[in-house]
Amino acid sequence: MTPQPLWLLAELTYRCPLQCPYCSNPLEFAGARFRNELGTEDWCRVFREAKALGVLQLGLSGGEPLLRADLERLVAAAHEVGLYTSLITSAYRLTKDRLAALRRSGLDHVQISIQAADEELSNYIAGTASYGDKLAAYRWTKELGFPLTVNVVLHRKNLHQVRDLIGLAESLGAERIELANTQFYGWAFHNRDALMPTRAQLEEGWRVVQEERGRLGTRLEIVWVLPDYHEQFPKPCMGGWARSYMTVTPAGEVWPCHAAGRITTLKFANVREHSLEWIWHHSDAFTKFRGDAWMPEPCRSCPRKTVDFGGCRCQAFLIAGDAGVTDPVCSLSPHRHLVDDAVAEVERTAAAEAGEWVYRAAPNSRALAAKG
Amino acid sequence: MTSPAPDASTVRVAPKARLQWDEVRQRHVLLYPEGLVALNETGADILALCDGTRTVAGIVTSLQQRYGVEGVQQDVTGFLEALAAKGLILFEGG
Ligand code: SF4
Ligand code: SF4
């Protein structure tokens, strides 16, 4: 029996005032494929269809979802059908009035990113002066009674701040802090050499997390998203391909994960032409890697295949050039040497701070797309 | 670690969590930021009683009357303490 989805990530727009070099959005986000954004009615229909399919959790994301003038209406529509709604935002130029309006519309949870613990580094990483807006928005989020998640993407330039970041979340009264080690898709893959931390940095970060968990107990949930290049086995991507999760992109394409659009060998259906139900059950992108019939060796005969589902298809495509092979991060993969090489290169050059990143910005997106 | 449920305090579902009927899967769920707990009928009944007016003892009494059974104290306490450890229910006063 086909599983029923639980999670839907609605990427409402790829416009964003920030320029984080690790953004998981597609490199070609500024191109024609993503520009023709769905209207209010389209999204409301998507939410209704998602709920009827079994979805319970809705993430409203982007780009920057606050740039949608109809965000309050979208939240209200999602709330009305009974979805638990999370706003995933940079909080840039957010006002307390707007946050209060979102609360009245039925928004359940607010997740606000921050790029570092101090203003200078945070603004530098974001490529936009945004730290002050974020701190104000954190306070309003709590004042208005929302549960608050602080989200930080970790990489070479901010991993030394793990303790300060946890301290910041604690002082804000946040329920959760997500310390997400960079996953190398989209812009992060392009900027991999500039972002990848050293093994020593990761070990220290993980040590601090364990210490802080002991100190804080249940007062603050500290989520540590594993840096999979440095692990022995891949992460169970999205709990298995097309098992519980889907992403709807700004122009209506539906992907089994938020990085899947990069896989050129898959065909993606659009909510403008098909119902979400048809897409979930029948579209090429969702059926191709569902279950385990597609698996090659070494996954096919591996006892871990029910644990990690062969790892991430997007990573297999990005690193090995074939979405249908074992995740190259797996130590049993014949492509693991490609990952080891990338890690070794960072160990070799990190001391010299080699590698600058390219900011996620529309002109850079167009330039990269032109290069092909 | 789980904190023991204090006898005199009242219990309520935390503001960040929402008890809801899942029509597709025909069961109750407790939804919260980035997660959910699937509930069986008893679990849903217990949570419906966590409305901020009852103590754990009060909830136990209600359930025993409803089901006509004895000795559910330990199960109820264990269930509530596990949820409290995730911040999904709150013990107040007492
Ligand atoms: S990661 Fe940064 S640039 Fe990408 S959408 Fe989020 S806030 Fe914008
Ligand atoms: S061989 Fe495949 S199933 Fe086994 S651990 Fe590696 S990725 Fe997972």
Which residues of chain A approach chain B closer than 8 Å at the C-beta? 4, 6, 52-54, 56-57, 82, 84, 86, 108-109, 111, 145, 147, 149, 175-176, 217-218, 221
Out of A332, A335, A339, mutate this one to test ligand 2's pocket (max ligand atoms within 8 Å of CB): namely: A332
Note whether A299 and A310 are within 8 A (CB).
yes
Note whether A357 and A21 are within 8 A (CB).
yes
Q: Which residues line ligand 1 (CB under 6 A)?
A: A 16, 18-20, 23, 25, 62-64, 90, 113, 360
Give B94's pLDDT tier (boundaries 50, 70, 90): low
Instruction: Supply the pLDDT for residue A370.
Output: 85
Residue with tokens 């603050």: A220
| H-helix or E-strand spanning residue A72 | helix A71-80
**Longest C-alpha distance within chain A, in Å?**
56
Q: A355 Cβ partners below 8 Å, 6+ apart?
A: A193, A194, A349
% chain B with pLDDT above 90: 72
Give B1's pLDDT tier (boundaries 50, 70, 90): very low
Tens-place pLDDT, residues B14-54: 999 999 999 999 999 999 999 999 999 999 999 999 999 99
Tens-place pLDDT, residues A28-80: 999 999 999 999 999 999 999 999 999 999 999 999 999 999 999 999 999 99
Instruction: Supply the pLDDT for residue A155.
Output: 97
Q: Which atom of ligand 1 is nearest to the CA of A126?
A: 2
Give B5's pLDDT tier (boundaries 50, 70, 90): low
A311 lines ligand 2 (CB under 6 A): yes
Note whether A251 and A36 are within 8 A (CB).
yes
Please answer yes or no on whether A175 and B16 come within 8 Å at the CB atom. yes
Low-confidence ranges of chain A (pLDDT < 70): 351-355, 372
Q: Which atom of ligand 1 is nearest to the CA of A25?
A: 4
| Number of the ligand closest to the Cα of A304 | 2
Instruction: Give ipTM to 2 decimals.
Output: 0.91
Whole-angstrom distance, CA of residue A170 vs CA of residue B27: 35
Measured in angstroms, how far is the CA atom of residue A229 from the centroid of ligand 2? Answer: 14
Instruction: Supply the pLDDT for residue A207.
Output: 98
DSSP string, A209-263: HHHHHHHHTTSSEEEEE--GGGSSS---GGGSTTTSEEEE-TTSBEESSTTGGG-
Instruction: Supply the pLDDT for residue A353.
Output: 62
Please answer yes or no on whether B33 and A147 come within 8 Å at the CB atom. yes
Length of chain A: 372
Measured in angstroms, how far is the CA atom of residue A334 from the centroid of ligand 2? Answer: 11
Measured in angstroms, how far is the CA atom of residue A11 from the centroid of ligand 1? Answer: 11
Main-chain dihedrals φ then ψ at residue B22, nearest 5 degrees: -100, 100
Measured in angstroms, how far is the CA atom of residue B12 from the centroid of ligand 1? Answer: 37
Instruction: Supply the pLDDT for residue A354.
Output: 53
Whole-angstrom distance, CA of residue A372 vs CA of residue B7: 66
Q: Which atom of ligand 2 is nearest to the CA of A331?
A: 6
pTM of the model: 0.94
Task: Tell me the shortest Cα–Cα distance from B8 to chain A, in angstroms.
Answer: 21
% chain B with pLDDT above 70: 91
Give B2's pLDDT tier (boundaries 50, 70, 90): very low
Taking only residues 6 to 35 of chain B, the set having a beta carbon closer than 8 angstroms to any beta carbon of chain A reads 15-16, 18, 20, 22, 24-25, 29, 31-35
